[in-house]
Structure 1
Amino acid sequence: MNAPAIPGLEPAFRVEARLGAMEDHGTTRAGHRRVVPIVGGTVTGLFDAEILPGGADWQVVRPDGAIEIDTRYSARTAEGAYVYLTTFGVRSGSPEVLAALLRGDPVDAAEYYFRLGVRLETSAPELAELEHTIFVASALRDADRIRYTAYRVT
């Protein structure tokens, strides 16, 4: 009987997304809602693209302080192909570390957990393979940007 393959990870692309000012929506029926606009940035690796303004991270801050990540944004390649990126994940750490990140203070990445699942959607035939792949990422939060490396799950 065949055994399923053991998944591996291979580097696929890097994202640097510039952020606008956070909108604090307060406590809604979903929880403490924050919206962080994505105003630009770059994707490099399996495909190179410019992140377009207009996306956002629709966050929910859980009672334990962890932040549920839900981003949606678009990128465009130099050839004019669009790629729609969505991520879901969690950022967590001690209350002091999360407060420092919120203030925009530099924090060592080892001090907090920030992991994402990444999905891609495109109509470009040359990028279609991206839609048939699962990606995971380890991310960093800087004062005005998010940076992550996405890995293809093999």
Structure 2
Amino acid sequence: MQIPVPSLAHSFTLRVDLAAPLEMGRGRAGMRRIIPITGGEALGPELTGKILNLGADWQTIFEDGAAHLDTRYAVETGDGALIEIVNVGTRHGPPDVLARLAAGEDVDPSTYYMRTAARLETGDARYGWVNHTLFVCAGIRRASAVEIAYYKVL
């Protein structure tokens, strides 16, 4: 009997609107910041709707400029379901690229690494499948938003 090899299938993409970062200062592991999540959209194909104005990304920025991403937010689907998203991962790249991202420039996403793993949860039976699905994600950082593609691990 052979162990199955996982594959990926695109499930949805989020465009997440962000407010200006709140700088907390140095913590135990690096510089800490909170970036409020103020809205956005879930663009399908399996989830569509709006991102609610109630989440944040609690980041740690390490000495080498890499960021540990730790987000929690919620999507309200077009048909009224609420889905919680907890997304944890990393963003890193060459110092000049990270400096351009920090300055709000649009940077070619092939020049840096932004990957996360997400857990979704809902009590709505129509979307109960998200409670039992692993997601891995790839993202792009924009000046006041991120775009994140969510892939189901099959």
Given the two structures, how large is their TM-score scaled by the length of structure 1?
0.96
1:32 is matched with which residue? 31
Structure 2, unaligned runs of 5 or more: none
1:60 is matched with which residue?
60
Q: Distance in 2 between matches of 1:32 and 1:102?
A: 14
**Aligned equivalent of 1:89:** 89
Listed as ranges, the gaps of 5+ residues in structure 1 are none
Q: State the distance in 1 between where 2:111 and 2:12 align.
A: 24
**Identity across aligned pairs (percent)?**
39
Maintained 8 Å contact 2:29/2:62:
no
Structure 2 CA distance, aligned partners of 1:67 and 1:85?
19
Q: Secondary structure at the match of 1:110?
A: helix
Q: Partners of 2:109 and 2:81 in 1: how far apart?
A: 33
CA–CA separation in structure 1 for the residues paired with 2:120 and 2:108: 29
Match runs of 1:68-87 below 5 Å: 68-87=68-87
Q: Deviations over 1:49-101 (max 9, x none)?
A: 21000100000011222100000001111222100011110000111111110
The residue that corresponds to 1:23 in the other structure is 22
Tell me how far apart the structure 1 counterparts of residues 77 and 148 of structure 2 sit (CA, whole Å): 19
Runs of 4+ in structure 1 deviating by more than 2 angstroms, as ranges, are none
Per-residue CA distance 1:6-26 (angstroms, 9 max, x = gap): 000111111000000111111
How does the TM-score come out when normalised to structure 2?
Answer: 0.96
Count of residues in correspondence between the two structures: 153
Aligned to 1:14: 13
CA distance in 2, matches of 1:27, 1:64: 14
CA RMSD of aligned residues (A): 0.9
